[in-house]
Structure 1
Amino acid sequence: MFAWIGLLNGCRNFSNAVRVGNRFTREEFRHRLQKQNLKDSQNKTDKTFEFKTKDEIPVRPVKDLYKCLGFTLGTSALAFTTAIVVDLERSKRNIRNYLFSSNREKPSKPFFQKIGLTNNTVIALIGMNIGVFALWKVPALKTFMWRYFTNSFASKSLCVPMLTSVFSHSSAIHLALNMYVATTFVGIVVEKFLGHEQFWSFFVAGGVFSSLTSLAHKAVTRNPIRALGASGAIIATLAYTCMRIPDAKLSIVFVPGFEFSAQSALWGMIAFDLAGLIFRFRMFDHAAHLGGALFGIFYSTIGQDYIWIYYGELIEKQWTKISP
């Protein structure tokens, strides 16, 4: 009997000890976990977001999109007007050189003239993007770059980054991929369709318009995320090319033997970005991509006639009145 009582008491004491031990272990573990989470949160705030919080504000009201629209129209008008005037002056200079220097020994051309305007354009585009990428690597400029070279509807700077973010990449892979696509299509567009000046105005306007569509999507969804990169402007260039050469054959890098028409590629790209918006994919800025594609389609169908030709004629008349 005493043996059973002693065994029972021993079992109860062991059970109580286990309960006490379990309670102590859980409480201690919970306490340590909370302490570690608090420490991680503080470290994250101190190290990762210390330069972001200086610029980050609550998502702006939707009515601020009027400012973005005004900046888009103003920047595009300025870009095309400047391009038209520069193109006129270049044409005048070429005519004068032809008339007055045809019988003289022509001076040697500078290096960048020898390699041609097409290559100049590609080199300038890549150089600008690499230059901005280098600025991202300067620790002292982090706050500045975050404010003025990322496109967000929750930033103190709203309009200027709509343009500057088009030339901004903080990732080497992102930069390399965009520049690879740019070198594939920019040369064709400059040489066959737009020329040097018109391309730059098109690229700037397409980039700013893609930033506008990105901000519009962020305003509606109340999304504070930031975006950057030349993807919107490059997709505008790609869409323009696909519309002008719809039967051209394209392929995917590292997938040999798989070809498709340029027009099919364009519609497939638009469908993918629409799906990205509907299902809220977060890998790409699908709204910016759609904006770039729509701008490229618009400019290839009616935009080039109305902007570069009809508007260009108005600018030419006014410019000839004031220029010597």
Structure 2
Amino acid sequence: MALSYRCGKLLALNTQRHFHLSLNAYQSLSSKSPALSRIFCCWRTQRQVTQLWTSRTWFRGFRSRKNQVEEPSGIQSEQVSLLRPFLYTFAVCGASFTGAMVLNYENMRRVFQELQSGSKQDAESPFKKRSQKAIGFRDHLNSMWSSLSNGQKLVLGIVAANMGVFLLWRIPSLQSTMLRYFSSAAKHPLPSMTLSSFSHISFLHLFVNMYVLWSFASVGVNMFGMEQFGAFYLSAATFSSLTSIACIRLLRRPMSVSVGASGAIMALIGAVCVRYPNAQLSIAFVGEIFPHSFSADTGMKCLIAFDLLGLVLGWKFLDHAGHLGGMLFGLLYTKYGSKYVWGNREKIMRWWHNIRGKP
């Protein structure tokens, strides 16, 4: 690990030394050779991407929300406007919940049609499949899938998406694209604010986040329902990226990029803890060695205090602003949003019903 660090630094120093030498030669020859000028510009662009990629500290350790990596010093945080990220976050939240309401209508419509047609399929949930005799491997998988709860099915889909993105990061030819669209930063395209929540810097980072998500997702789905939970997750992920970017802008911190699902997970933890404050929790894996438990309310307050301390002291190991943004979203939505947003979904469902017509 230490050897990798030294090698990375040595590579960066050598690259920088050769770059300055090549720059002097380029300035003297570029006027004589336009082709050389184009080649050098392409090499310089590749060098910037390579230097940024090699500066990513893969060996700094696990970071629960996002891994922060400093971008080239030429980018100044004070030049970044918060208007576009704010409008994008508002659009994602609106589109997510509108889509969830439409999906909720479609699921209810499907159940009604099944009941009306006298189908023998289970009408309790449109996601449950008809039980069949296991004939082959495919039927066995179908049986296993049918035995899962709605929350488990949803979280498995999220886990699969995170694993897919994790594998894409390992393809060298895609790294510049992944860095641009799957890591959140103020200068990156706006969709990166959402897509970064599916990126993880290491397998440990991915494993811990997905383990915590799996632990809380079933409770969250029982609280919100499948459709509302999906909208909640995407909106929380985007909102946490907004708070991270806003913190860098307002506190004039060095520009950085970040990845990880912990913003959405912190929102889920906050929602569960505020709904069930007396539920008993324990730290994963530690409880097997040192039996312990604490109330959900106590755990939530400790997480908030830890991230506030990290934000004030400027700790760079975690994206504390993203954590706090996710927690804030979870608390506010559970207390108010679920009632005033999802509780008024009838208007959207009626509008969609008029478009679809009678079943």
User: What TM-score results when the alignment is normalised by the length of structure 2?
Assistant: 0.73
- Give me the whole-angstrom Cα distance separating, in 1, the residues matched to 2:342 and 2:278: 25
- Give me the whole-angstrom Cα distance separating, in 1, the residues matched to 2:194 and 2:121: 44
Equivalent position of 2:202 in the other structure:
171
Q: Per the alignment, do residues 260 and 48 of structure 1 end up closer, same or farther by CA in structure 2, a change over 3 Å counting? A: farther
Aligned partner of residue 304 in structure 1, secondary structure: helix
Higher relative contact order (CA 8 A, sep 6+): 2
Shift of 1:126: 0.6
Deviations 1:157-183 (A, max 9, x none): 241110000111121111011001001
| Unmatched tracts of structure 2, length 5 or more | 1-8, 20-45, 54-70, 124-128, 132-138
- Give me the whole-angstrom Cα distance separating, in 2, the residues matched to 1:252 and 1:38: 40
Q: Per the alignment, do residues 48 and 122 of structure 1 end up closer, same or farther by CA in structure 2, a change over 3 Å counting? A: farther
Paired residue for 2:211, among 162, 174, 180?
180
Deviations 1:21-74 (A, max 9, x none): xxxxxxxxxxxxxxxx99751247999963365995613546611100000000
- Give me the whole-angstrom Cα distance separating, in 1, the residues matched to 2:121 and 2:291: 53
Q: Per the alignment, do residues 105 and 218 of structure 1 end up closer, same or farther by CA in structure 2, a change over 3 Å counting? A: closer
Paired residue for 1:198, among 228, 247, 253?
228
- Give me the whole-angstrom Cα distance separating, in 1, the residues matched to 2:94 and 2:13: 47
Deviations 1:113-140 (A, max 9, x none): 4433222111101100000000010011
Paired residue for 2:105, among 80, 84, 88?
88
- Give me the whole-angstrom Cα distance separating, in 1, the residues matched to 2:122 and 2:183: 50
Contact 2:77 2:254 in 1 (8 A): no
Paired residue for 1:128, among 140, 161, 164?
161
User: What TM-score results when the alignment is normalised by the length of structure 1?
Assistant: 0.81
Contact 1:243 1:300 in 2 (8 A): yes
Equivalent position of 1:139 in the other structure:
172
Equivalent position of 1:213 in the other structure:
243
Identity of aligned residues (%): 32
Letter in structure 2 aligned against 1:72:
T
Q: Per the alignment, do residues 142 and 98 of structure 1 end up closer, same or farther by CA in structure 2, a change over 3 Å counting? A: same
Paired residue for 2:116, among 99, 104, 116?
99
Q: Per the alignment, do residues 216 and 137 of structure 1 end up closer, same or farther by CA in structure 2, a change over 3 Å counting? A: same
Shift of 1:104: 8.8
- Give me the whole-angstrom Cα distance separating, in 2, the residues matched to 1:179 and 1:38: 35
Aligned partner of residue 50 in structure 1, secondary structure: helix
| Unmatched tracts of structure 1, length 5 or more | 1-36
Equivalent position of 2:254 in the other structure:
223
Equivalent position of 2:349 in the other structure:
316
- Give me the whole-angstrom Cα distance separating, in 2, the residues matched to 1:38 and 1:292: 38
State how 1:1-324 maps to structure 2 within 5 Å.
Answer: 41-43=13-15, 50-51=49-50, 58-61=75-78, 64-102=81-119, 108=130, 111=142, 112-153=145-186, 155=187, 157-190=188-221, 192-220=222-250, 221-253=252-284, 254-255=286-287, 256-310=290-344, 312-324=345-357
Q: Which structure is larger by alpha-carbon Rg, 1 or 2?
A: 1
Aligned partner of residue 351 in structure 2, secondary structure: helix
- Give me the whole-angstrom Cα distance separating, in 2, the residues matched to 1:104 and 1:302: 36
Deviations 1:252-296 (A, max 9, x none): 121432211001111110011000011111111000000000000
Deviations 1:234-268 (A, max 9, x none): 00001000011110001112143221100111111
